Amino acid sequence: MLHTHSYSLLNADYVQLNARWNYKNVISPYYRLYYIDDGAGEVSNLSKKLVLKPGYLYLIPSFTLCNLKCDTYLSQYFIQFFEETPDGISQFKDNRDLMELKASDTDVHLIKRLIKINPGRGINRSDNPKVYEKETYYKEYRDLNRNMRISVQFESQGIILLLLSRFLESTRFKQEELNKIPSTVLDAINYIQINLGSALTVADLSDYVNQNKDYFSRIFLEHTGSRPLAYIHKKRIERAQYLIVTTNKTLLDIAFETGFNTLPHFSKIFKKQVQITPAAYRKQNLQIT
């Protein structure tokens, strides 16, 4: 199978954190990967809590809600990067969860190597996501990537892929659980991801997988925890968040690109899911603190 995913470096650095590193309800349009070499901390969400401990790697995929916490001291290597795919389907679309695995000597070497060949890629302003998650700063790092030597681009991409491969191998995307999901539901999920910008209805999906509409809705809810329309909205808004913070497209263009017929409808669904309007979300990411 041809691999079509690529990853664009945002930040990479080594930091020593203290009790100020205490942020709730963080949901970022990029991946976070941590290696802890001393101290202790915590990442958590409504369903899971992981204690950050020395010798382990931690991965937080894009659009994964989490809380970040350090009580006293945490020594951390971190990498933050965007995922880019032609169809907008994330490699971790079926496993947006907090992940942990024991680090190998090779993992540690790769992380330190990535930081060494990409100097000056720390956040440097604050450890608060509300400060550094700004479109202005994203543009700075995109400029750095464009000016990166081709050899460094290739090596950086390779390192990120190698580190991600460790989580793919260790979690296998919860393959046992996925194997229990009916193929009709999996087919519908893939169809949704590929057609986010098109008009999608429950009737369209049930027809696509050749199932009765009511029966399809029932098994979709049973195996995903969401009704089909709610799932469609969730994936559309995730894509919209990414476009808002990484492009200069108008909100109307983003609404159309993510399958909404009108800006008011887009704004209503966006606010329901993200708790603020698209305009406020953009302003929050444009404002320099």
Q: What is the DSSP string of 230-243?
A: HHHHHHHHHHHHHH
Distance CA(195)–CA(200), nearest Å, equals: 8
Q: What are the residue ranges of CATH 2.60.120.10 in the chain?
A: 6-174
Residues 83-136 pLDDT 10s? 876 555 566 766 678 999 999 999 999 999 999 999 988 886 566 666 555 555
Q: Which pLDDT belongs to residue 183?
A: 82
Please, what is the Cα angle at 47 between 41 and 53, to 5 degrees?
20
Q: Is residue 289's pLDDT more than 50?
A: no
Comparing 12-21, 71-80, 161-170, which segment has the lowest mean pLDDT? 161-170
Distance CA(202)–CA(276), nearest Å, equals: 27
Number of neighbours of residue 60 by Cβ within 10 angstroms? 26
Q: Which pLDDT belongs to residue 71?
A: 95
Q: Which pLDDT belongs to residue 2?
A: 47
Pick the CATH number of 181-286 from 3.30.1340.10, 1.20.120.160, 1.10.10.60, 3.10.20.30: 1.10.10.60
Q: Is residue 174's pLDDT more than 60?
A: no
Architecture label for domain 6-174: Sandwich (2.60)
Which is more confident, 40 or 83?
Answer: 40
- Report the chain's C-alpha Rg in angstroms: 20
3-state secondary structure of 153: helix
Q: Mean pLDDT: which of 19-23, 74-78, 202-206 is highest?
A: 74-78
Tokens at residue 195, please? 């057609």
Q: What are the residue ranges of CATH 1.10.10.60 in the chain?
A: 181-286
Number of neighbours of residue 139 by Cβ within 10 angstroms? 12
Q: Distance between terminal CA atoms of the chain?
A: 44
**Residue 57 is inside which H or E element, if any?**
strand 56-60
Number of neighbours of residue 47 by Cβ within 10 angstroms? 8
Number of neighbours of residue 250 by Cβ within 10 angstroms? 11
152 Cα distance to chain centroid: 24
Contact yes or no for 36/55 (Cβ under 8 A)? yes
